[in-house]
Amino acid sequence: MSQSDVTGLFNSEPKGNLIVMAHRILIVGGGAGGLELATRLGRTLGKQGKATITLVDKNLTHLWKPLLHEVAAGSLNTSENELNYVAQAKWNHFNFEIGTFCGLDRDAKQIQLAAIQNDKGEEVVPPRSLDYDTLVLAVGSRTNDFGTQGAAAHCIFLDNLQQAVNFHQMLLNHYLAAHSTHKEQTEGKISVAIVGAGATGVELSAELHHAARELAAYGLKGIRPENMDITLIEAGPKVLPALGDRISKPVHETLEKLGVTVLTSAPVQEVTAEGMKIVDGRFIPASLKVWAAGIRGHAQMKGIAGLETNRIDQLIVRQTLQTTLDDNIFAFGDCAACPLSEGNERNVPPRAQAAHQQASMLTKSLIGRLEGKPLLKYKYRDHGSLVSLSLFSAVGNLMGNLMGDVKLEGWLARMFYISLYRMHQVALYGAFRTLLLVLSDRIGRSTEPRLKLH
Q: What is the pLDDT along the chain (454 residues), one digit of tens a residue?
A: 333 333 333 333 444 444 457 899 999 999 999 999 999 999 999 999 999 999 999 999 999 999 999 999 988 878 778 999 999 999 999 999 999 999 999 999 999 999 999 888 899 989 999 999 999 999 999 999 999 999 999 999 999 999 999 999 999 888 887 766 655 444 568 899 999 999 999 999 999 999 888 887 777 666 788 888 999 999 999 999 988 888 899 899 999 999 999 999 999 999 999 999 999 999 999 999 999 999 999 999 999 999 999 999 999 999 999 999 999 999 999 999 999 887 778 999 998 889 999 999 999 999 999 999 999 999 998 877 888 887 766 777 665 544 445 666 676 777 777 788 888 889 898 888 888 888 877 776 655 666 676 6
> What does residue 419 show for φ and ψ, rounded to 5 degrees?
-65, -25
Backbone region of residue 72 per phi and psi (left: phi > 0; alpha: psi in -120 to 50; beta: other values): alpha
Rg (CA), the chain: 23
CA-wise closest residue to 24 among 146, 82, 113, 111? 111
What pLDDT, on a 0 to 100 scale, did the predictor assign at position 308?
Answer: 97
Strands 190-195 and 288-291: parallel
What pLDDT, on a 0 to 100 scale, did the predictor assign at position 243?
Answer: 83
Whole-number Å distance between alpha carbons of 231 and 193 = 5
Within 8 A by CB and 6+ apart from 148, the residues are: 268, 269, 270, 271
Question: In whole angstroms, what separates CA 360 from the centre of its chain?
Answer: 17
> What does residue 453 show for φ and ψ, rounded to 5 degrees?
-110, 25
Q: Would you say the C-alpha torsion 159, 161, 166, 168 has a positive or negative sign? A: positive
Can you give the length of the chain in residues?
A: 454
Within 8 A by CB and 6+ apart from 40, the residues are: 359, 360, 363, 427
Whole-number Å distance between alpha carbons of 342 and 430 = 34
171 within 8 A of 291, measured Cβ to Cβ: no
Q: What is the dihedral of CA 217, 219, 220, 222, to 10 degrees?
A: 100
Within 8 A by CB and 6+ apart from 407, the residues are: 246, 247, 395, 396, 397
Q: Would you say the C-alpha torsion 15, 18, 22, 24 has a positive or negative sign? A: negative
Task: Give the helix/strand (H/E) hosting 79.
Answer: helix 78-81
Neighbouring C-beta atoms of residue 319, cutoff 10 Å: 19
Domains and CATH numbers, the chain: 3-141+297-370 (3.50.50.60), 151-295+384-445 (3.50.50.100)
75 within 8 A of 64, measured Cβ to Cβ: no
What pLDDT, on a 0 to 100 scale, did the predictor assign at position 405?
Answer: 59
